[in-house]
Amino acid sequence: MNKFPLEWDGYSTSTSFTTQYEHYATMNKHAFTLIPFPTMNIPQITIAGNISRRNNVVTVHYALIGSVEAVVFPLTLAHASRMDELWKFTCFEFFLAIKDQSDYWEFNMSPSGDWNVYHMDAYRRDGFREEISIVELPFTMQLETDCFSLDVAVDLNTIIEQGQTLDVGITAIIQTQDGNETYWALAHPGGHADFHLRESFILELAPSCEVP
């Protein structure tokens, strides 16, 4: 089993284990706030949360706060399943790419409970396919008067080795009661909303060591 090495990430053996662990934890947990792509009629909401990686399990927490009543949420289904084109409605997403490699994965979670995971060999739909190594994507949701939250955890061991550094993009598509659709991401480096641009994968999750 992989434990912290004696000399790890630039730290000498004289560095305390606590200091090394704190540095590792910082690299493997990030708070985020999503930015809407500039457009008319952006709803009065904030989308924030955090992402972490531990024992090669990535967890993401989203919190949509503000004028929740302006958002159109798909109806929650009694029997959710793997579905395509969830992005046509309000949907929460994240992207994982192995650092310095072209292929990446897209994770979709709908407030309906439906989900999907895709694998691409390169930008957008090059080699686009469902990631069959992941057979379920459990997540929980809670809708209140002024907040919607979603929490998801995914075990990466079937697709990504724990020793690999990950570049991360986090996004959301929000439909509103007035018929508009807005696009939220960590960054919008292009001239139009494009969640697949690698330049928008601005968070990094370090190699996942096994910790208690």
| Pairing verdict, β 45-54 and 35-36 | unpaired
| pLDDT band, residue 4 (cuts 50/70/90) | very low
Average pLDDT over residues 176-188: 96
Q: What is the pLDDT of residue 6?
A: 31
Task: Enter the pTM of the model.
Answer: 0.86
Q: What is the mean pLDDT of residues 10-28?
A: 49
Least confident of 17-26, 103-112, 151-160, 181-190: 17-26
Per-residue DSSP letters for the chain?
-----SSBTTB-TTS-HHHHHHHHHHHTEEEEE-EEPS-SS--SEEEEEEEEEETTEEEEEEEEEE-GGGB-PPPPPSS--B-S-GGGSSEEEEEEEETT-S-EEEEEE-TTS-EEEEEESSSTTTT-EE-TT-----EEEEE-SSEEEEEEEEE-TTTS-TTS-EEEEEEEEEEBTTS-EEEEES---SSS--TT-GGG--EEE-------
Q: Comparing 1 with 99, which gets the higher pLDDT?
A: 99
Sketch out the chain's domains with CATH numbers. Answer: 30-205 (2.60.40.1190)
User: Mean pLDDT, to the nearest integer, of 96-108?
Assistant: 97
pLDDT for position 211: 56
